[in-house]
Amino acid sequence: MTSAICNLKSAILALCLSTCLGAEVVDWPMFGFGPQRQGVSPTRFASATLEHQWSTATPRALYTYVEGTPYWSSPCLATVEGQPRVFLGCYDNTVYAFDGATGEDAWQFITGGAVGATPVYAIIGGHPMLFVASSDRSIYAFDPRSGVPDTKRKLWQVETLAWKGTVNPARMANPLLAEIDGKPVLVCGVWNNNRSGTENVQRGEVLALEPATGKELWRREIGTSAVGTPCLGTVKGEPALFVPYEPGAVFALSVRTGEDLWPKPCSSGDEIHSGISVGVVNGRQLLFLGGRTAWAYGVDAETGQQVWASPINTWVDSTPAFAVIDGRPTVFVGSYNYFVFALDAATGKEVWRYRTRGIVQGSPAVATMGGEPVVCVNSLDDHVYVVAARDGRFLFRYDLGQFSWSHYQKGKTIWASCVVGMLAGKPMLVAPSYSGVVHAFAVGTRDDNAGPPRDSFWDALGEAYTIPVVLLVVAVLVFTLTRLVRARRATGPPDHTIDGPQKSG
């Protein structure tokens, strides 16, 4: 093997063996665990009794929410030369590397824009490398080892659009690292836009780069709008990238050349903000994605034809996870109606649903706890949840802290997902929070389970701001009616008749 991508290879191997959930893999090297984005890690926890291990320091404060600004990217877990590391991008333009054992800062690198895309870790040519897509329109490669001077941290930088005064921050999809014909390929979806009237640019495209040098292999323009997180599969034996396009289409591109593999893109009818995952169901490769048409879809990867559509009844922006649970291929989807759905991957029929108390926008992560497959998910009710993958039974919940901004724009921001992996020799659940810190959990003696959420009447009222509003309304109502009744008593009833004024005149 000329270019050894050891971690990536092990991840792909683990995916192949994901049905048995038996192999031990250390890392969560990219978004969705592997290039198929299935979100399944073979990590085994001894039990679901989780103890809070560490949390990181708060990043630099940003008091203003800007449309679409992410807080954290989803984490990337890796062991770099024996040192456990958690890599994340942040809204403060910084790429963070935290110590996986303690949560302390290992190193930081400031880019020119917010980093919402999950970093990718791999060993290229025997050297560990970290790839990061930043909204400063650039893709970076870093040396992720500790002790490297800041001036030598950056290995290369590829700018996808030159800076102008009218350029907006780019929207970068989570990069993907694949190995094609024995050679690694780094793929990233980019949406650049320059609002200038004379040099207007609106370009959603997919770039393939050589990871070692950053040399561009090919570049394929998809359209004028944003491109989502690509995933890797095959079409007629050809390695294929499945790329969601935000206005409502999925493209199948050759990883080798970037050419279309389907006669025409698959159209969903409405916007797609979710990523895509790939899974094999009954010998047939299916794509799983959600849409803003309130449906989750299963699409035949060979033809681009829809196989099933399952009603979720609201938006689905989270990338579906795919796992085989007790012999049944299952898709796990988070939705805006607070539910995590488990759908039969072959038919789209609902197996179970679990209701959190907030929007589930992050993508589910599947692991094993106490011999039982579980689904871990971040919810916008400030908690991370662990539920049983078989039946949606509640197992664990932890308060990650409240939102540190005053508001956000619904549907404009993709929030970080939680991930599972081995850090410092033990299985860990890592959950970034929009309160400003990243939390890590491992099996311990203390049970930090907050218990299942309860919908007490007063909690709900407090959440809804209902009491002050309704009291105010009742007060205004009483005041208005009292005044009107008094005025009516003083002046008599008003003359509403059409002829009244004419007669009086």
Partner 1 sequence: MELPFGWEGDRLVIRKVIERALLPLGNTALDLTPFLMMAGLSVVAAFLMRWKFPHRQWARRLVQTISAVALIMGVHPCACMSRDIILGANAMGRDDLGAFKYLIVFATVAAFTMLFGRIFCGWLCPLGFAQELLGKLTSWARGHKEKPAFIYLKYGMGVVFLGVLFYSSYKTKPATFSFIEHAMVFYTIGLSLIALTVLTDHSKDWFFKSRVRYAILISIFAVFIYGVYANGPFCVFFTAYVEWASLISCFGVLLLSIVLMNAWCRYMCPEGAMLGLLANHAAWQINRNDRCQRDGCCEPVCPVDCIVMGIRDRRTCLYCMKCVDACPHGALEIVNELRPGKKQTVPFIPRPTKYF
Residue list 278-317, contact with partner 1 (CB under 8 A)? 293-295, 311, 313-314
Taking CB under 8 A as the rule, which mask of x and - marks residues 183-202 in contact with partner 1?
A: ----------x-x-x--x-x
Name the residue nearer to partner 1 (CB basis): 60 or 410: 410
Name the residue nearer to partner 1 (CB basis): 197 or 263: 197
- Would you say 227 and 204 are in contact if contact means Cβ atoms under 8 Å apart? yes
Binding residue (CB under 8 A) for partner 1 from 60, 105, 480, 486: 480
**DSSP string of 120-165?**
EEEEETTEEEEEEEETTTEEEEE---TT--HHHHEEEEEESS---T
Measured between alpha carbons, how far apart are the two ends of the chain, in Å? 103
Binding residue (CB under 8 A) for partner 1 from 119, 265, 290, 320: 265
CA-nearest of 332, 452, 321, 322 to 383 is 452
CA-nearest of 296, 289, 282, 276 to 233 is 276
Cα dihedral 236, 285, 1, 122, rounded to 10, equals 130
Name the residue nearer to partner 1 (CB basis): 353 or 426: 353
| Distance separating alpha carbons of residues 384 and 429, to the nearest angstrom | 10
Assess 478 for contact with partner 1 (CB under 8 A).
Answer: no
Place of tokens 């899974």: 279
Assess 336 for contact with partner 1 (CB under 8 A).
Answer: yes
Q: Which amino acid is at 138?
A: S
Kindly report the backbone phi and psi dihedral angles of residue 491, in degrees, each rounded to the nearest multiple of 5, phi listed first: -110, -10
Assess 484 for contact with partner 1 (CB under 8 A).
Answer: yes
SS3 content of the chain, % helix, strand, coil (to 5): 10, 40, 45
Assess 267 for contact with partner 1 (CB under 8 A).
Answer: yes
Binding residue (CB under 8 A) for partner 1 from 1, 20, 61, 498: 498
| Distance separating alpha carbons of residues 239 and 139, to the nearest angstrom | 23
Assess 223 for contact with partner 1 (CB under 8 A).
Answer: yes
Residue list 357-386, contact with partner 1 (CB under 8 A)? 358-359, 380
Name the residue nearer to partner 1 (CB basis): 109 or 295: 295
| Distance separating alpha carbons of residues 438 and 84, to the nearest angstrom | 15
Residue list 143-182, contact with partner 1 (CB under 8 A)? 168
Name the residue nearer to partner 1 (CB basis): 63 or 465: 465
Strands 365-369 and 40-45: parallel
Q: How far is the CB of 249 from partner 1 (least distance, A)?
A: 5
CA-nearest of 304, 253, 251, 245 to 271 is 245
Name the residue nearer to partner 1 (CB basis): 150 or 459: 459
Binding residue (CB under 8 A) for partner 1 from 110, 164, 463, 486: 463
Assess 16 for contact with partner 1 (CB under 8 A).
Answer: no
Secondary structure letter of residue 320 according to DSSP: P
Name the residue nearer to partner 1 (CB basis): 16 or 162: 162
CA 385 vs CA 53, 217, 252: distances in Å: 16, 41, 34
Place of tokens 């409502």: 248
Distance of CA 75 to the CA centre of its chain: 10
Assess 347 for contact with partner 1 (CB under 8 A).
Answer: no
Q: How far is the CB of 85 from partner 1 (least distance, A)?
A: 32
Binding residue (CB under 8 A) for partner 1 from 214, 370, 411, 444: 411
Assess 452 for contact with partner 1 (CB under 8 A).
Answer: no
Neighbours of 195 (CB within 10 A): 13
Q: How far is the CB of 124 from partner 1 (least distance, A)?
A: 32
Assess 245 for contact with partner 1 (CB under 8 A).
Answer: yes
Assess 421 for contact with partner 1 (CB under 8 A).
Answer: no
Binding residue (CB under 8 A) for partner 1 from 215, 284, 393, 412: 412
Name the residue nearer to partner 1 (CB basis): 216 or 495: 495
- Candidates 44-52, 134-142, 176-184, 332-340; binding stretch for partner 1 (CB under 8 A): 332-340
CA-nearest of 11, 76, 75 to 38 is 11
Binding residue (CB under 8 A) for partner 1 from 58, 224, 257, 305: 224
Residue list 391-410, contact with partner 1 (CB under 8 A)? 403, 406-410
Assess 475 for contact with partner 1 (CB under 8 A).
Answer: no
Name the residue nearer to partner 1 (CB basis): 6 or 472: 472
- Size of site (CB under 8 A) for partner 1: 71
- Strand-pairing partners, residue 369, are 45, 372
Kindly report the backbone phi and psi dihedral angles of residue 9, in degrees, each rounded to the nearest multiple of 5, phi listed first: -60, -45
Q: Which amino acid is at 335?
A: S
Taking CB under 8 A as the rule, which mask of x and - marks residues 72-91 in contact with partner 1?
A: --------------------
